[in-house]
Amino acid sequence: MSSRKSPVVVMKFGGTSVGDVTRVKHVADIVMAHRRERPDVAVVVVLSAMAGETNKLVALAKSCVDEPSGREMDVLLASGEQVTVALLAMRLSALGFPAKSLLGAQAKISTSGQHTNAMIEEVETDSIEAVLAEGGVPVIAGFQGVTEGGDITTLGRGGSDITAVAVAAALRAEACLIYTDVRGVYSADPRICRGARLLDRVAHEEMLEMASLGAKVLHTRSVFFAMRYGVPLAVLSTFGGSFVPGVNGTWIVNEDELMEKPVVTGVTHRLDEARLMIQSMPSDISTMARLFSLLGERDILVDMISQETVSPGLVNVSLTVADDQSSVALDIARSSVPELGAGGVSVERNIAKVSVVGLGMRRHTDVAGRTFRALEKHGIDLQMVNTSEIKISVLVARKHCEAAVRALNDEFAPEVSECFDALA
């Protein structure tokens, strides 16, 4: 552990924030402003590759080999952040703020050996602390680490966020600020819901539900990590001025740090699922089990499930899967029709899943009732329903998605504390 006494803040900038040289310069200005305003607080920066670069490298690999080896894929992908950290470090130094880039291995970010999807096991902070001790800004390549054997690894989706949270945890940072291209976490997607409010705080558990239900602002893995290690985490926009929660920025906090717990904190939606229907299947549990075994063997992840009885001993089973798995799932179900003794199979892709999420649901009754009535009032039919302790998800026709989000945001909005409306 370090002997450093001064507080430290970790600032992480995503691919859009460092998408070209002009933006890298802007990021340098943000870091510089922070250093000037709070000279007693040390800054550690974590960067992603330029937006689009990772996809470009993946395409390059695929044009070279059908199935690239994971080890070499990681060497290839890790070159992306190498470019951005070098550019930002040279820019900061030129502005008079000494900075040093640190690649994953140099920052001693040790990971497991699962290439392209490695787990951080440890961050030894001595090389980061050495830069801080010189008064410099460590600029760390996110998304990448190194195995015990010295092989380069990458962390998979949301990897740079995870790097930032892990570094913040190891340094006992006072905050981990995730700079992105949105101002934070909204009560609903502001692109489709004019009444969406920017939240100043959201609980980890809510954020986890919202992320998995379609809010793209943070990857669930980094939220888990922050929750487990008690890292104060915030999301804000690189292009939205200073960090002011509720204006530009949302804190992701422990439940006990919330002053009040709204019944519904946010409304999310996702359009990337498909609904698979198996008609007139025998209702016995062994047939049902067989169906899910077949899907599981092919790594099909099933989200929502429902069944309705059509005649004695026969049910229609509906389930949702990721859109990009739906063709495989359909093939499996179709070829199993004889074995399962089912009547037929169909798929519906014009659907949307809309969810309300809030810790307050635990202590409020009739949230489901209010949800259904609000949708009914707008003539929106429900195809499926799924609930957990702090969320209710409904499946609706895709054409009704926006109306459903607005209806639910309006329904529950009055009950949350007055928030700044970022779009007003």
Q: Which residues bind a copy of itself (CB under 8 A)?
A: 21, 24-25, 57, 60-61, 63-69, 71-73, 75-76, 78-79, 82-83, 85-87, 89-91, 93-94, 100-101, 103, 105-106, 127, 150, 152
- Nearest approach, Cβ of residue 46 and a copy of itself (Å): 15
Query: 313 near 282, Cβ under 8 Å?
Result: yes
Q: Which residues pair with 145 in a beta bridge?
A: 153
Whichever of 115 and 353 has its CB closer to a copy of itself, that residue is: 115
Which secondary-structure segment (H or E) carries 129?
Answer: helix 126-133
- Nearest approach, Cβ of residue 123 and a copy of itself (Å): 16
- Nearest approach, Cβ of residue 68 and a copy of itself (Å): 4
Whichever of 59 and 244 has its CB closer to a copy of itself, that residue is: 59
Q: How far apart are alpha carbons 175 and 370 in whole angstroms?
A: 37
Tokens of 70: 């994971």
- Nearest approach, Cβ of residue 103 and a copy of itself (Å): 7
Helix (H, G, I), strand (E, B) or coil at 146: strand
Tokens of 74: 């990681």
Which secondary-structure segment (H or E) carries 121?
Answer: strand 120-123
Whichever of 154 and 318 has its CB closer to a copy of itself, that residue is: 154
- Nearest approach, Cβ of residue 99 and a copy of itself (Å): 8
- Nearest approach, Cβ of residue 21 and a copy of itself (Å): 5
Whichever of 103 and 354 has its CB closer to a copy of itself, that residue is: 103
Whichever of 85 and 171 has its CB closer to a copy of itself, that residue is: 85
Whichever of 12 and 91 has its CB closer to a copy of itself, that residue is: 91
- Nearest approach, Cβ of residue 196 and a copy of itself (Å): 36
Whichever of 68 and 358 has its CB closer to a copy of itself, that residue is: 68
Q: How far apart are alpha carbons 48 and 16 in whole angstroms?
A: 9
- Nearest approach, Cβ of residue 219 and a copy of itself (Å): 25
Query: 223 near 200, Cβ under 8 Å?
Result: no
List Cβ neighbours of 47 (8 Å cut-off, separation of 6 or more): 12, 13, 18, 27, 81, 84, 85, 88, 139, 140, 141, 142, 160
Which secondary-structure segment (H or E) carries 92?
Answer: helix 70-94
In 155-285, where do the E strands start and end?
A: 175-180, 201-203, 233-237, 250-253, 266-270, 273-282
Pairing mode, strands 152-154 and 144-146: antiparallel
Whichever of 2 and 82 has its CB closer to a copy of itself, that residue is: 82
